[in-house]
Structures are given as C-alpha cells and as structure tokens.
Structure 1
Amino acid sequence: MTETKTFGYVRVSTKEQNTDRQIVVMQKLGINERDIFIDKASGKDFDRPQYQALKAQLRKGDLVYIVSLDRLGRNSDAIKKEWNEITTEIGADIVVTDMELLDTRKYKDTMGNFVANLVLEVLTFMAQSEREKTLARQAEGIAVAKAQGKHLGRPQLNIKTLTKQQRGDLEANFRAWETKELTGVQFMEILGLKKNSFYKITKEYKETIQ
C-alpha cells in the first residue's frame, strides 16, 4: 500500500509579501519543510509553478493544507474546478485551516457534502468579489493619476535624470561618437544606458547644443 503524504500550500500575491505567517501554520501542523509549496504569484489563475508541482505529486489519500481559501485562488470557477480535480479525480483531501467546514476528511455523507459545497460556493464568490474590487480600485487610482497628469510606472529617463557622472561622460564623449571615433556600443557602456534610453538621451542632448 502506498504511504499517504501531507502537504502545505502557501501563496502570496507579490514577491515583496511575507509568507512567514502561513509557513508557521504549516509547521505547527507538523508538515515537513520540503512538503510546503510556496508561490509568490497572483491568484487570478492556477498557472503557478509550485502549485502545479504540488498537484503533480498528489496521490489518492494525500492531504493538502491551505491557511485560507483565497490563498488557493481568487477566481470562483477556477477554484471550484481545481478543488474538484484534487478531491474527486485525484482522490486527495483538502483542509482550509481557517474554515472548519472546508475539511473534506470530515464530510463524506450527503448532508456534509451539501454544507461543505455551499460554504465553498459562498467563499469562492467572496474571494472573486474581493479581487474584482481590488482591480476596480486600482483602475480608479490609475484614472485619477492620469487625469492629474501624474506619470505612472518607472520615472521617465531624460538628461535631467542622469547622474552627474553620466552627464559628464555624455558631454565628454558626444562629439567622438558623432564623428564615429567611438562606437554606439562603447558609448552606451560608458553611459551605462540601454539602447532605447541611449538614443533618446543623445537625441535630446543634441537638441540642447544646436
């Protein structure tokens, strides 16, 4: 008989977010560190490397712990599809630690399944609704910033944003580059700029000295 295994799945949305709280929960459950799968990725879908690695290892009778349902994902239909694949097609169990009713080990009868499925429906709906609200707030923030003329994303590179060293190197080597004594690649390396930024800066500088 194949030995069953216990796994933990941890997810945060960005690389900057901390996974410690979820990992501590898994460790208190006695899950071995090598059996805790961690993704730092959006919950919009299940195209996540560690989740897919976990799923590939699951066998009938195995157990997966998740701290909360939204750590599994935030798309209602996708969550239910994955839940069904793990519990029905693979035959593993899932325990959501912050929701007692979402423990597939306990509810095997008809009424138990009905209650658990109802809770799953409600929670997946809430997870997706929260994601949609977050996206709406982000879109609203972007629209306001654009209306106010604020630049979004990385600061735009121009002569004024160059360092004192870069400005000096630009002034000292520009003529040599124009007369082809210095190649574009060499000049880029001196300035520490990538191709698009290099041509933007040199064009701007040329306009200032004409």
Structure 2
Amino acid sequence: MKKTYGYCRISTKSQSIERQIRNIIREYPDADIVEEVCTGTSLQRTNWIKLKNKLKKGDVVVFDSVSRMSRNSGEGIKEYFELMDKGIELIFLKEQYINTGTYKRAVERELEKTGNKIADLYINATNEVFRILAEEQIKIAFDQSEKEVMDLRQRTKEGIETARLNGKQIGGQVGKSFKTKKSVEAKEIILKHSKRFGGSLNNEECWKLAGISENSFYKYVKELELENK
C-alpha cells in the first residue's frame, strides 16, 4: 500500500514552517508530514535521508515548492531522477509542471512507428524532443531555486559593503549595536561558512571560526536575516 509524505523544510528556526504544512495538508490531508530545519543547498539532511531510506515503490512525496527539496541544481536534478526511477512519485505544489507524473506523461507520449524508415526517423526525433523539453523544464526549476540562494548571498554582501562605506549601522532593526570591524568580519565569515546561509559549518564551528561568542553569533545571524527579508 502506497504512502504519502509531505516534506517541509526551513533554513533557520526563526522562520515559520506552518505555511508549508497547511498547503500540503490542504491538498493531501492524509500525508505524513516530515519537518526539517536545515539549509537547502545540500541534500545531506538528517530527516530527508531518513525519509528516503523508507520510501518504497509507489510512495508519494509532496513539497510546497521545488526549493523545499533542493536549492542545489545539480544535486536536485540527480535526486529527482533517482527517486523517479525507483518508482517514487514527486509532487511540487507550486511547480506542477515538473511533477514526476507530468514528466512521465510527456516522455511516454511516443508516436507510433509506421514501418516507413524515413517517417520513423522523424517520429524518433519527435519523441526525443519530448524527453529533452521535459528534462529542460525540470532543470530550469532547480536552477531558479539555486539562483535565489545566490541572489540572497549577493544582496547580503552588498548590504554589508554599503554599510561599511557609509559608516551606517549594520542590522539597525536589532537593538542599538553599531558596526565594528570585528562584527563586519564575523558576519562575512557567517555568510560564507554557516549552514544557515548555504555553507558547511554548524553553529558552534562557525562562531569558533569567527572568534565570537555564541550570543554574538545568534545576534549576527538574526541581523543578517532581517536585512534580507
């Protein structure tokens, strides 16, 4: 008997996951919800891996959007086809055109052969075009998801640089702390290395690398997130 799962992911605990859950339950009331707080730039996520390991042929995984599955285009596309080949159905509420069911219908829409060699050459070419177009749509969706992360990083870096040049306060919405050389350098390290912003270090590893306290780390993270809402 097939099972339906809803996978919901947020990057940081300061974000809300409720909207994703509501959207999935509205369409799939019986879905078992799996929640995750982790960056989308890597598929090496604890709860995602646990879910994958128990999926069986015929099972369904529902995402609010493709970005909840992956913000890494290369890894996302590879994972998509690996799961589809195992008979797992993937559904993206905001990008229905790349659901595995939609893709399968596109590539299975093969024209029947005629027995005429020349005509069959055209038919084979047409069938191949169907596949290429379907796969290209999937790639575009994952590329866009990855681009959103790159844009966020760039906007944040530009915001820090602008604040530095203008002598303005960084994270003005958080208390009354003013920028210092150390805070600017620490934020740049956090942006580059923290898992919260697509890096590879966990929270403790990141604040130790930046040479700041745990409290300062969470303060800077909050300021960075507010700057880029």
Give the TM-score of the pair, scaled to structure 1.
0.64
Q: SS of the residue aligned with 1:36?
A: strand
Distance 2:101 2:141 in 1: 19
Distance 1:56 1:69, change over 3 A: same
**1:107 and 2:103 correspond:** yes
Counterpart amino acid of residue 67 in structure 1: D
Is contact 1:6–1:31 with CA below 8 Å preserved after alignment?
no
Partner residue in 2 for 1:86: 83
Larger relative contact order (C-alpha < 8 A, sep ≥ 6)? 2
Partner residue in 1 for 2:94: 98
What does the per-residue CA deviation read over 1:55-93, in whole Å, with 9 as the maximum and x for residues that have no partner? 1111111111111111111111011111122111x3201
Give the TM-score of the pair, scaled to structure 2.
0.59
User: Identity over aligned residues, as a percent?
Assistant: 29
What does the per-residue CA deviation read over 1:90-117, in whole Å, with 9 as the maximum and x for residues that have no partner? 3201011112212212432525644432
Distance 1:71 1:16, change over 3 A: same
CA positional deviation for 1:141: 2.2
Distance 1:115 1:59 in 2: 28
Distance 2:134 2:29 in 1: 24
Distance 2:6 2:29 in 1: 7
Q: SS of the residue aligned with 1:98?
A: coil
Structure 1 stretches of 4+ moved >6 Å: none
How many residue pairs are counted as aligned between the two chains?
152
Distance 1:107 1:84 in 2: 10
- Between structure 1 and structure 2, the one with the greater Rg is 1
Distance 1:43 1:50 in 2: 12
Counterpart amino acid of residue 101 in structure 1: Y
CA positional deviation for 1:28: 1.6
Distance 1:86 1:67, change over 3 A: same
**1:64 and 2:64 correspond:** no
Counterpart amino acid of residue 54 in structure 2: Q
Partner residue in 2 for 1:184: none
5+ long unaligned stretches in structure 1: 154-195, 198-210
Partner residue in 1 for 2:140: 122
What does the per-residue CA deviation read over 1:29-73, in whole Å, with 9 as the maximum and x for residues that have no partner? 33446x211112111111222111111111111111111111111
Distance 2:29 2:53 in 1: 18
Partner residue in 2 for 1:138: 156
Is contact 1:43–1:74 with CA below 8 Å preserved after alignment?
yes
- For residues 130-209 of structure 1, what are the structure 2 equivalents within 5 Å? 130-147=148-165, 148=167, 150-151=179-180, 152=183
